[in-house]
């Protein structure tokens, strides 16, 4: 059973999401909150698999709540998915830096919401290739100097796998590109995440661009 926490200051959004998620046999909404501070309390109380958290809220915004969740070792298994009104919300990249596994637009179609919750529960990033390119182009057009010390810990194959993941490729696509098995591709990604202290795949993508391992494409 996938346990979900809803954190949004709009009651209509919460009730709509709760009604939709509640129809699924493998998903349970364990609690809901109207601001980040309350959400943080409930995260610690319920330890959900997935926390759907709005970016902009009173008292404590979603980014600060996400940052505190990511910093708490006891909450390491909680996967935060940010909710935004716009696909290119100015705070999206900051949310990924804070530790979010990805983000969803609030007008998402029901099927995509259900898929997203299940993807997040598995620990995968909710970053479609097209969204990844847009985010990187907008927020990391001029990446800071490479953090070579961290990258030097990666093997050449791990670096290659991370670079491909940063372009939005799945493990299966990485495997095809590198001519290895999907399991080996997953191993490369997981080892890179461990070495770079990335909470999840989304943060690995952020690190790949911020370090200069991958450069954003123009256009």
**What digits encode the pLDDT tens for the residues 88-117?**
556 767 777 788 887 787 888 888 889 889
Alpha-carbon span 96 to 118, nearest angstrom:
19
CB atoms near residue 142 (< 10 Å):
6
Q: Is residue 51 over pLDDT 80? A: yes
pLDDT confidence of 20, banded at 50, 70, 90?
A: very high
Q: List pLDDT tens digits, range 52-66.
A: 999 889 899 999 999
Query: C-alpha distances in angstroms, 158 versus 143, 165, 171, 203, 209?
Result: 21, 10, 12, 15, 15
Query: C-alpha distances in angstroms, 30 versus 39, 121, 191, 213?
Result: 12, 14, 32, 40
Give me the percent of the chain exceeding a pLDDT of 70. Answer: 81
Q: For tokens 């804070």, what's the residue?
A: 98
User: pTM, whole model, 2 decimals?
Assistant: 0.68
What three-state secondary structure class fits 102?
Answer: strand
Q: List pLDDT tens digits, range 134-174.
A: 555 555 544 444 455 667 788 999 999 988 887 778 888 89
- Mean pLDDT, the chain, rounded, equals 82
CA neighbours within 13 Å on the CB side: how many for 119?
Answer: 20
pLDDT score at 105: 79
């Amino acid at each position: 059973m996938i346990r979900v926490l809803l954190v949004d200051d709009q009651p209509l959004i919460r009730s709509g999401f709760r009604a939709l998620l509640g129809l699924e046999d493998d998903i349970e909404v364990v609690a809901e909150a109207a601001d980040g501070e309350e959400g943080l309390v409930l995260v610690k109380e319920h330890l959900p698999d997935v926390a759907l958290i709005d970016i902009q809220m009173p008292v404590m915004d979603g980014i600060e709540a996400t940052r505190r969740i990511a910093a708490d070792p006891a909450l390491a298994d909680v996967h935060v998915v940010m909710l935004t009104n716009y696909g290119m919300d100015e705070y999206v990249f900051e949310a990924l830096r804070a530790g979010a596994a990805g983000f969803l637009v609030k007008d998402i179609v029901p099927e995509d919401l259900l898929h997203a919750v299940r993807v997040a529960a598995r620990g995968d990033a909710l970053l479609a290739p097209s969204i990844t390119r847009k985010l990187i182009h907008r927020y990391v057009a001029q990446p800071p100097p490479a953090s070579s010390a961290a990258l030097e810990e990666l093997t050449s194959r791990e670096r290659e796998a991370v670079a491909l993941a940063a372009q939005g490729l799945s493990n299966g696509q990485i495997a095809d590109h590198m001519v290895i098995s999907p399991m080996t591709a997953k191993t490369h990604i997981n080892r890179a995440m461990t070495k770079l202290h990335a909470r999840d795949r989304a943060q690995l993508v952020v690190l790949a661009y911020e370090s200069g391992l991958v450069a954003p494409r123009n256009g």
